[in-house]
Chains A and B, each alone.
Chain A
Amino acid sequence: MITTELEQLRAEALASLEQAETLDALREWRVTYLGRRGRLTQVLRQLGTIPPEERPRVGAVANRIKDELEAAYEAREAVLKEAALAVTLAAERVDVTLPGRPVDLGGYHPTTLVLREITSAFAELGFQVVEGPEVEWDYYNFEALNIPRDHPARDMWNSFWLTPGGTEAERPMLLRTHTSPMQIRVMEKFRPPIRVVVPGRCYRYEATDATHESMFYQFEGLAVDEGLTFADLKGTLYAFARMLFGPERRVRFRCDYFPFVEPGCDMSIDCSHCGGQGCRVCGGSGWIEIMGAGMVHPQVLRNVGLDPDRYQGFAFGGGPERVAMLKYGIEDIRHFYANDLRFLRQFRW
């Protein structure tokens, strides 16, 4: 009797469940059939009226049906929830092609970016960064670097003077024309072993054009110790060039003259623009000069009280703008300090 009633209830409930189209209707169904005052509960209350020996069997049927209805409810609920979510999601659609809320972007000056690359490359080679004054005595900028007054090599560096009479002054003061005076200051301050790299501003009295600025940066390197050789200079600069310009770069060392080194050289890398075939970037030679360098001149060592029979060293220098021009394909050095934001904002990394 009661089992028939249970089976009928089951069939009716399952059919009714199919009709529940919303989560609200579903909750109502649950109250109707499975709630505390629901139909199934009401049927089960009649269990007390049947003979005790029947109860386990009927109870088992009732439990099975209850479990079945619960499972059907959950399945139905999952379907309806998914449908409801789909509706919500569809309603929440945004126009993803609209631009995002901008985050404020800052940026580094390209000279800074390149100087950071250069100094960290030399840091890997054991060179530490130091800085020095931009306004210098003639002594540090020239005399101590083996460039005496009236030496024709002075023509290589046209200077801005701060003392009347220029080089004729009693103690001539000028804007440094290169970072090389720091060679002297570093050797005066530290004893070997020395390995430093010096970035900084320099100034030359020169007409400006696409490759010349009256103000520019340089980086100067100096290593002094017992037993440093020209081969070590080559090795150091070679390693540097490949760190900065890529492991496939080839380098070339040419004889060059700077009064404070002997032997003197410059280093070129093969032109990545044309692969060494010759193009506009490299002036047709296939090579691009990057740095000047050489073994510290014995007179320079003597000028700072180092014995050239005991110590030897090498020095090198280059221009970060030139490096940046190569790396970024900038054609005119005058862009650097004109600070046109349309130029500066291009350098992101």
Chain B
Amino acid sequence: MRISLRWLNDYVQINLPPEELAHRLSMAGLEVEAIEKLGDFWDSIRVGRVVRLEKHPNADRLWLATVDLGDRQETVVTGAPNLREGVKVPFAPVGAKLIDPAQGKLVELRAARIRGIESRGMVCSEAELGISDDHSGIMILPDDAPVGAPLREYLGDVVLDAKPSPNRPDWFSLLGIAREVGALTGQPVTEPPAEYAEAGPPVGALVQVEIADPDLCLRYCATVITGLKIGPSPEWLQRRLRAAGMRPINNVVDVTNYVMLEWGQPLHAFDLDRVIGRRIIVRRARPGERLVTLDGQDRALPPDALVIADAERAIGLAGIMGGANSEVSETTTAIVLESANFHPTNIRRTATALGLRTEASIRFERAIRPELTVPAARRATALILELAGGQAAQGMVDLYPGQKPETEVTVTAAQIKRLLGTDIPGPEVHRVLGLLGCRVEEPEPGVYRVRPPFWRSDLNIREDIIEELARIIGYDNMPTTMPAGPLPEPIFDPRRDLEEAVRDILVGCGLQEVLTYSLVSKTLLDLFDRNGAPEPLRLVNPMSAEQEYLRTSLRPSLVNTLATNRRRGEVGPVKIFEIGRVYWARPDDLPLELKRVVGVLSGPAGPRVWNRPERELDFYDAKGVLETLFWRLGVDVRFEPGTDPDLHPGKTAVCLVGNARVGVVGELHPRLIDAFELRERPQLFEIDFERLAELPRNSRAYRPVPRYPAVEQDIALVVAETVPAGRLVDIVQGTPYLERVDVFDVYTGPPLSPGEKSVGLGLVFRAPDRTLTEAEVRQLVERLVRRLERAVGARLRA
């Protein structure tokens, strides 16, 4: 809503600087997003009259204009095509500041000689004054402009661009805002004049109105004016409409728009001679009914759309837009002026269905009050008579099926204190509510019976009234306390702690956390195997194909993040992870939202440095991260060769806890490496957070520090290359006194035969009650080697 302060000043005296007014309104809930100052740089610009216009002696297309400023005359050179002798124009003397339309910024006007003639100033276009973009000619001022007057006094304005909240339809009108300003500053509010002579025949003799669907039309008022003359509106009216962001059309249409801006009540004028049968029927659209609206669109009317019809056809879409078939035109001489109130929800649904939001529908859907129809109709009728002439019919059509009893809200001093945490003294309650136009009775002390003014449709319950008190007194003047009272029972949520722990550990392992979009493209999702997930949920109204489906897996997002960063030129290691949700559809219910942890490690193992050999991140880097993670979480996990359709079949391990598969780690399948056009071997891991959260964790019970020293013994075993190292470790597990086993070396090549490998195991033995002797350890190792020999044909390497 654009608020011209010059206009607003018609209804309430503004005794604050614009910035302060904007601040006060914003604090009270009407957010002012911008303050536009029209003419703040017009310091020396004045109204002048062109008294003489001559051809420039040395140039065909230039003119010499002599401008009378009252106290002196100045001659300027101009190329403007639209000057005539006698017109009034803005005159800028040398030294004035003007906008250079070519540069769009302020420049100071200098004296100039143009083709030999000195030009001591300029007559200005609207663009040069910052009024509009129009630079096609000089701005012609209305005849009433006082010659010599500073232009700012005559034309300057400040426009506040404000954003009314949906609950305040009254803020969609200048009068409503004037009332707010009045409440905030204590100034009285004057309603505009609406007196006119009802010189014509009774209104009922000129038009018949019937409300066929009273559930959708709460009130219908209409006046009739005959014998009027359509023409352009006067300059002041056009200027105000433009300041409000509307386009002037003709005097009748402009008045309906003007009064809508003034009162917040949308109005519509029908050409009476085009209303067939001079009958107006407010009814639902008929099945299949169409209407060409004023914007020229031929529209199929949705079911339940409310139309204004004449005896034969729809002539307007109620509360949204008039019909072309009854439009006021240059030849119109009589009009029906409609000032009605329609059901807000119905208007909103029809407007939404048609994709047609208008100034009228915006106001109706916010539930403006039916009380507005009469004063707005009277005001508009009076203005039309003034500007277009004609005769007003006697009386006014006023059908009011939706009349409701006046709202009354009772609020007590105790309730005020209970909500705000402070007492508001009785006189203050009366004062504030009175400023807002409420009528307040106090049948017993501390009990307020409040009847809000008709324009405040948002005041219905006691909390609404209490908010008004706090708002006008000022939220910053309300007390500030800390909540007392008991704290709630703690909500025990181990999942949250676990999630944060996983995040910390992965970051500690050198991974960068990413957060990727939950919405992905089908193309991206389909690159990966569905892996047991259901079909992804599709948005009914996606913004783009890139963000059309709810992801069922985090893998595509993470690999895509790697690829995107490579395309951006990242050449170093990429080690990323995300803890996020996937969305698995269920029939007739919200989808399951399951948490997953997915990581990708790819590229060089580290930045290039002088003292570390370069190598690529590989499977064991990713596995190491998972080992660290599970170890830190106290989860005993086994890694076994496994398969996953997205991963390299020879470089995939599943993470098992008992028989539960909690995760997988492996190298990205070459098919996907190709699909993402990567020139590296990304390693990927995924953990099913839901399963992880359900796992038993190792007891954190303390184990005594060993009292006797350990004995360490390294052995090298030769086995077939196909025997997994993990198998060797599994076999030796359980050997008495064996405390730990480390695989410290794996070797293939001479002198071993092809197909053989040597595996170095570091064994640590310890007895709890004594120091093991060398002989004992030797025996233990021999037994252990024999078991390996039986199981996998291992032999000790010499």
When the two chains form their complex, are residues B543 and A214 in contact, meaning their CB atoms are under 8 A apart?
A: yes
When the two chains form their complex, are residues B168 and A112 in contact, meaning their CB atoms are under 8 A apart?
A: no
Q: Does A41 contact B (CB under 8 A)?
A: no
Count chain B CB atoms within 10 A of each CB in A99, A109, A136 and give the residue with the most: A109
Instruction: Name 25 A/B residue pairs within 8 A (Cβ), A-sorted.
Output: A102-B606, A106-B506, A107-B513, A108-B513, A128-B488, A128-B490, A134-B518, A134-B593, A135-B593, A152-B348, A161-B541, A164-B540, A225-B483, A229-B418, A231-B478, A234-B480, A238-B480, A253-B478, A254-B26, A254-B27, A255-B27, A257-B167, A262-B467, A312-B418, A312-B419
CB-nearest residue of chain B relative to A149? B345
Task: Provide the A243-285 mask, 1 if CB < 8 A to any CB of B, else 0.
Answer: 0000000001111110100111100000000000000000000
Q: Does B521 contact A (CB under 8 A)?
A: no
B2-39: which residues lie under 8 A (CB-CB) from chain A? 26-29, 31
Q: Does A35 contact B (CB under 8 A)?
A: no
CB-nearest residue of chain A relative to B512? A107
Question: A134-B518, A229-B419, A231-B421 given as contacts; is B513 within 8 A of A150 (CB)?
Answer: no
Q: Does B349 contact A (CB under 8 A)?
A: yes
Task: Provide the A226-244 mask, 1 if CB < 8 A to any CB of B, else 0.
Answer: 1111111011101100000
**Shortest CB–CB separation between residue A168 and chain B, in angstroms?**
9
Once bound together, how far apart are the Cα atoms of A101 and B471, in whole Å? 61
CB-nearest residue of chain A relative to B420? A230
Question: A229-B419, A254-B26, A339-B565 given as contacts; is B487 within 8 A of A104 (CB)?
Answer: no
Task: Provide the A8-21 mask, 1 if CB < 8 A to any CB of B, else 0.
Answer: 00000000000000
A115-160: which residues lie under 8 A (CB-CB) from chain B? 116, 126, 128-131, 133-137, 150-153, 155-156, 160
When the two chains form their complex, are residues B485 and A262 in contact, meaning their CB atoms are under 8 A apart?
A: no
Question: A255-B475, A339-B564 given as contacts; is B512 within 8 A of A232 (CB)?
Answer: no
B584-607: which residues lie under 8 A (CB-CB) from chain A? 590-591, 593, 606-607
Task: Provide the A208-232 mask, 1 if CB < 8 A to any CB of B, else 0.
Answer: 0000001100000001011111111
CB-nearest residue of chain A relative to B353? A168
Q: Which 8 A-B pairs have the closest CB atoms?
A: A104-B510, A231-B421, A229-B421, A255-B29, A263-B467, A257-B165, A106-B507, A253-B475
When the two chains form their complex, are residues B421 and A232 in contact, meaning their CB atoms are under 8 A apart?
A: yes
CB-CB < 8 A to A103: which residues of B? 510
Number of interface residues of B (CB under 8 A): 88
Among A98, A161, A228, A255, the residue within 8 A (CB) of B610 is: A98
**Shortest CB–CB separation between residue A151 and chain B, in angstroms?**
8
When the two chains form their complex, are residues B518 and A201 in contact, meaning their CB atoms are under 8 A apart?
A: yes
When the two chains form their complex, are residues A253 and B514 in contact, meaning their CB atoms are under 8 A apart?
A: no
B159-177: which residues lie under 8 A (CB-CB) from chain A? 165-168
Among A165, A205, A262, the residue within 8 A (CB) of B463 is: A262
Among B486, B510, B542, B583, the residue within 8 A (CB) of A160 is: B542
Question: A111-B515, A150-B349, A344-B514 given as contacts; is B575 within 8 A of A106 (CB)?
Answer: yes
Number of interface residues of A (CB under 8 A): 88
Q: Does A297 contact B (CB under 8 A)?
A: yes
When the two chains form their complex, are residues B29 and A256 in contact, meaning their CB atoms are under 8 A apart?
A: yes
Q: Does A89 contact B (CB under 8 A)?
A: no
Once bound together, how far apart are the Cα atoms of A193 and B483, in whole Å? 11
Taking Cβ atoms with an 8 Å cutoff, the residues of A that contact B are 98-99, 101-109, 111-112, 116, 126, 128-131, 133-137, 150-153, 155-156, 160-166, 173, 175, 190, 192-196, 201, 203, 205, 214-215, 223, 225-232, 234-236, 238-239, 252-257, 259, 262-265, 295, 297-298, 312, 336-342, 344-345
Once bound together, how far apart are the Cα atoms of A323 and B606, in whole Å? 33
List 15 additional A-B contacts (Cβ < 8 Å) besides A190-B491, A253-B475, A341-B565. Answer: A104-B509, A134-B581, A134-B583, A134-B593, A135-B550, A192-B488, A230-B419, A232-B421, A235-B482, A252-B476, A256-B29, A257-B165, A295-B419, A297-B463, A312-B418
Q: Does B208 contact A (CB under 8 A)?
A: no
CB-nearest residue of chain B relative to A165? B540
When the two chains form their complex, are residues B510 and A225 in contact, meaning their CB atoms are under 8 A apart?
A: no
When the two chains form their complex, are residues B463 and A339 in contact, meaning their CB atoms are under 8 A apart?
A: no
Question: A161-B541, A193-B485 given as contacts; is B165 within 8 A of A106 (CB)?
Answer: no
Question: A193-B488, A344-B512 given as contacts; is B507 within 8 A of A153 (CB)?
Answer: no
CB-CB < 8 A to B485: which residues of A? 193, 225-228
CB-nearest residue of chain B relative to A256? B29
Count chain B CB atoms within 10 A of each CB in A103, A235, A252 and give the residue with the most: A235
Once bound together, how far apart are the Cα atoms of A227 and B482, in whole Å? 12
CB-CB < 8 A to A225: which residues of B? 483, 485-486
CB-nearest residue of chain B relative to A229? B421
Question: A229-B481, A339-B514 given as contacts; is B590 within 8 A of A137 (CB)?
Answer: yes
When the two chains form their complex, are residues B420 and A229 in contact, meaning their CB atoms are under 8 A apart?
A: yes
Once bound together, how far apart are the Cα atoms of A234 and B365, in whole Å? 33
Once bound together, how far apart are the Cα atoms of A285 and B40, in whole Å? 20
CB-nearest residue of chain A relative to B574? A341
CB-CB < 8 A to A131: which residues of B? 496
Among B166, B481, B503, B543, the residue within 8 A (CB) of A156 is: B166
Once bound together, how far apart are the Cα atoms of A153 and B543, in whole Å? 22
CB-CB < 8 A to B411: which residues of A? none
